[in-house]
Amino acid sequence: MMSRRARIVGTWLALVVLAAAIAARARYVTDLSAFLPASPTPMQRLLIDQLRVGPASRLILVSLEGADLKTRAEVSVAMAHRLRDDREFASINNGEAVTADRDRAFVFEHRYALSEAVTPQRFTPQGLKAALEATIEGLASPEGLLLKSLVPDDPTGETLQVIDQLARTPAPQSREGVWSSADGARSLLVAETAASGSDTDAQERAQAAIQAAFAGTAAQRVRLRMSGPGVFAVASRASIQRAVVRLSIASSVLVVLILLAVYRSLAALVLGLLPVATGALMGVAAVALVFGAVHGITLGFGITLIGESVDYSVYFFIQSLTGDAEPWQRRLWPTMRLGMLTSVVGFASLLPSGFPGLSQLGAYSISGLIAAAAVTRLVLPELLPRGFAIRDLAPMGARIGRLLEPLRRQDAAIRWGGALVIAAAALAVIAAARGNLWNRELSSLSPISEEAQRYDATLRGDLGAPNVLDLVVVSGADLESVLRETERAAGALEPLIDEHVIGGFDDPATYVPSLATQSARRSSLPEPGVLRANLAQATAGLALDSAQLTPFLRDVEAARDAAPITPGDLRGTSLAAGFNALILHQADRWNALMPLHAANPAAPDIDAARVRSALAASGAGAAQLLDMKHESDALYDGYLHEALRLSLAGLAAIAALLWLALRSLARTARVLAPLILAVFAVTAGLVLFHVQLTILHLVGMLLIVAVGSNYALFFERHTARGGTAPLTLASLAVANICTVIGFGLLSFSGVPVLEALGTTVAPGTLLALLFAALLTPRGSTPADG
């Protein structure tokens, strides 16, 4: 029969191997999904898909700065030439007239189906005459040189009309033959990747290809900069990976050094790290099993586990090896177990969060803490070598005790009075900042710097691309009905341009009109005999000779029987990209996007109410205005409130658990008071440093309570009247140092969510320990005195 030790160690090893196998096979993601909602409304789903995998996500905006326009144009042309051969890219656009011939051919061939001017009235003698007069006037302008050859085929100028329709949305300006910002400071190139924006590996390859193409031009004094969803995804992945790796190494090294300094024993160090390592592994495995994929950011959060699970082994070593007659299992384990349970309850409140980052953090921490505590309780005692010893820490504890002594000697009334003063001052600071306390913007969590976001907006402005903040979305069961509704919505939006409510809008029906519209235009074209007669009447007295216009008669006749334009006809033209960016096909749903351009780029806000009422008045029922920034901030606001509710529920659960274990309201209050005081003080500190609180600060506060409750419980249970045992003080101090280091390092991660957590928890747990030392010990409340 197996010994108890073999059974326990064997089971542990088997579980570790299993967890390692799961962790090794897990999928790790580092895109921005942790910052996006998991269960959005259909409208939000659409937006998120559009951002993650939609056509817009494939666009890499490339800007060239420095040197002079001519040099940059040469660089742009050389890069585009090289990138057009690269299979990573679906298209490269820099304003060169590469697709212009095909575009022109498409527009010319389909001019009668595309032109909005094609109505029955247009082909009456009067209509024709007006159109021909305009054409003759056009011939006298410098563009006349370009129009001249079109006149025999297209005397009514439908080709020009279509070109104007397509140019209605601002196109990027061209300098030296390539796209440029209006001020000429930047030359621009837009690369559309073959892979979707959520394929971060492919995005990274595409960006490397752009870098290589740029390097290949050996341009002097020209700077390359890229922007766009894919660029952000790659950058944030890199920054999260960098942060996770750097933090893991740094905090491991620091904690190892501290433990070595404390234990002065290599065996104790190795044993002491076992609960941490096991916990981290179990945490990853649990998240992989529950969520299917582990977010990189979760690993970053996971470092925080080191803090708490190192505590367990610290308590174990320091307090079990004192030669006390009473085994530690009976003396200390119940306190540890209760501390662990309060932490688990605290983290459990994160599980139901709709914010994937938070629920993963909850699952990771719960499984990690339980595993670490179990290893400490069951495995470590079995592995202790004979004659195991660590340095006597009683003198260290005594020194800490002496440091605290002057404060602790004070009357309970004074100490609690001081606590009340601190609480009141903190609350006053918080109350003063009330209106401004929370950051309610989703972008506050983004790992993309504000500067990068601004630069992206600038490039979009240069390119005449809408800022994607305001969209009219039209949904329907098939493309035709969506296009019809789009045309109706366009009719409603048109007057708003003249009223300066909007500057313009993109419309997929410009590229491919609905079949209904196309057929109406076709039937506007008169039959050959009628057209010939009308034309003869119209040209009487005009400089234009109807004898020259036979090609026109022929083309109109052909257009009457032409097959309608379908999206497939756009292939090979630059118009395909324009159309595809505005049409999303998902399963059984078609969505048309009509991004609105601001009337004044300097004041990009659009009067949403006027747009909504115009849409409603037109009866374009399927068209809805979507204010994306408003939606995403509303979404975040929802999560903030949810997190607030969950945190309060977590706090209540911790209080209930403590009350259940301590069976005394007064004792529960003594344990909780220093923790809540620490939360107040840290919040006030953040406010004083002008930090706006985010969802992660809130989670940090929950962690202060969860971790701090361990300290308070030890003080509460293991302090005799007259003073805390030096060993308890020493173990708590070491545990706290490890925690502060773990979280403190997060403050320097460069990833906003991790920084928020770090700057809250590191000072918070330190204060929690201090306040607990002063307030919690039995006999410390005025009532006990």
Partner 1 sequence: MKRRAFGIGVLAFVLARAARGQFGDLDELMRLLAARRHGEVDFIEQHFLAVLKRPAESSGVMIYDAPNRLEKRTAEPRPEVLLLAGDVLTVQRGNRTRVLDLKAYPAIRPFIEGMRATLAGDRGALEQLFTVDYAGTLAHWRLTLVPRDTEVQKKIARVQIEGARSDLTRVEIFEKDGDRSLMTLRDRPIS
| Whole-angstrom distance, CA of residue 151 vs CA of residue 149 | 6
Q: Give me the DSSP letters along 609-650.
A: HHHHHHHHHHT-TTEEEEEHHHHHHHHHHHHHHHHHHHHHHH
Distance CA 479, CA 589 (A): 9
Q: What's the Rg (C-alpha) of the chain? A: 35
Q: Does 2 bind partner 1 (CB under 8 A)?
A: no
564 belongs to the binding site for partner 1 (CB under 8 A): no
3-state secondary structure 555-573: HHHHHHCCCCCCHHHHCCC
Q: Is 537 exposed, middle or buried (0-12, 13-18, 19+ CB in 10 A)?
A: middle
Query: How many of the chain's residues bind partner 1 (CB under 8 A)?
Result: 27
Q: Does 139 bind partner 1 (CB under 8 A)?
A: yes
Pairing state of beta strands 186-193 and 59-66? antiparallel
In sign, the C-alpha dihedral spanning 35, 40, 45, 47 is: negative
d(CA 315, CA 727): 9
Paired strand residues for 191: 60, 92
- Region of 26-34, 166-174, 484-492, 725-733 interacting with partner 1 (CB under 8 A): 166-174
Q: Report if residue 141 touches partner 1, rule: CB under 8 A.
A: yes
Total residues found in the chain within this entry: 785
Q: Which stretch binds partner 1 (CB under 8 A): 15-23, 175-183, 315-323, 630-638?
A: 175-183
642 binds partner 1 (CB under 8 A): no
CA distance 545 to 151: 11
Q: Which is nearer to partner 1, 134 or 212 (CB)?
A: 134
Rounded to the nearest whole angstrom, what is the least distance from the CB of residue 145 to partner 1 in the complex?
5
Least CB distance from residue 280 to partner 1, whole Å? 58
Chosen residue from 66, 125, 177, 381 binding partner 1 by CB under 8 A: 177
Shortest distance in whole angstroms from residue 90 CB to partner 1: 24
Residue 98 C-beta: closest distance to partner 1, Å: 12
Under the criterion CB under 8 A, does residue 174 sit at the interface with partner 1? yes
Q: 689, 352 in Cβ contact below 8 A?
A: no
Q: To the nearest whole angstrom, how small is the minimum distance from the Cβ of residue 139 to partner 1?
A: 5
451/498 with CB nearer partner 1 = 498
- Rounded to whole angstroms, the Cα distance separating 187 from 339 reads 60
To the nearest whole angstrom, how small is the minimum distance from the Cβ of residue 445 to partner 1?
39
Strands of 411-520 (E only): list them: 470-476, 502-505
Question: C-beta of 443: minimal distance to partner 1 in Å?
Answer: 33
Nearest to 709 by CA among 180, 347, 222: 347
- Is there binding between residue 173 and partner 1 (CB under 8 A)? yes
Burial-class residue 29 by CB neighbours within 10 Å (0-12, 13-18, 19+).
buried
Restricted to residues 119-138, the positions that interact with partner 1 (CB under 8 A) are 136-137
Q: Please choose, out of 143-151, 599-607, 670-678, 760-768, the segment that lies near partner 1 by the rule CB under 8 A.
A: 143-151
Which of 52, 175, 237, 670 is in the footprint of partner 1 by CB under 8 A? Answer: 175
Binder of partner 1 out of 2, 140, 563, 617 (CB under 8 A): 140
- Within residues 539-558, the interface with partner 1 by CB under 8 A covers 543-545, 548
**Which of residues 6, 17, 146, 634 is near partner 1 by CB under 8 A?**
146
Q: For the CB of residue 494, give the shortest distance to partner 1 in the complex, in Å.
A: 14
Residues 96-115 vs partner 1: string with x where CB under 8 A?
A: -x------------------
Question: Between 177 and 685, whose beta carbon lies closer to partner 1?
Answer: 177
Asked if 144 is part of the footprint of partner 1 (rule: CB under 8 A), the reply reads: yes
- Taking the C-alpha atoms of residue 570 and residue 109, their distance in angstroms, rounded to an integer, is 12
Count of alpha carbons within 13 Å of 102, Cβ hemisphere only? 11
CA angle in degrees (0–180, nearest 5) for 10-15-21: 130
- State how far the Cα of 696 lies from the Cα of 171, in Å rounded to an integer: 41
CB atoms under 10 Å from CB of 231, counted, come to 24
Residue 95 interacting with partner 1 (CB under 8 A): yes
Pick the closer one to partner 1 by CB: 149 or 220. 149
Closest Cα to residue 686, out of 625, 762, 627?
762
Our finding on whether 641 is near partner 1 (CB under 8 A) is: no
Instruction: Kindly tell me which of 175 and 415 has the beta carbon lying closer to partner 1.
Output: 175
Cβ distance to partner 1 smaller for residue 519 or 548: 548
Residues 573-602 that bind partner 1 (CB under 8 A): none
Does residue 354 belong to the site contacting partner 1 (CB under 8 A)?
no
Strands 178-180 and 59-66: unpaired
The answer to the question of residue 145 lying near partner 1 (CB under 8 A) is yes
Task: Rule CB under 8 A: say whether 402 interacts with partner 1.
Answer: no
Q: How far is the CB of 180 from partner 1 (least distance, A)?
A: 8
- Cα separation of 545 and 535, whole Å? 10
**Least gap, CB of 635 to partner 1 (angstroms):** 39
CB of 146 vs partner 1, minimal distance in Å: 6
152 counts as binding partner 1 under rule CB under 8 A: yes
Taking a C-beta distance cutoff of 8 angstroms, is the pair 542, 635 a contact? no
Contacts of 628 (CB under 8 A, 6+ apart): 47, 468, 469, 470, 471
Applying CB under 8 A, the span of 167-175, 265-273, 508-516, 682-690 interacting with partner 1 comes to 167-175
Residues that bind partner 1 (CB under 8 A): 95, 97, 136-137, 139-146, 148, 151-152, 164, 167, 173-177, 180, 543-545, 548
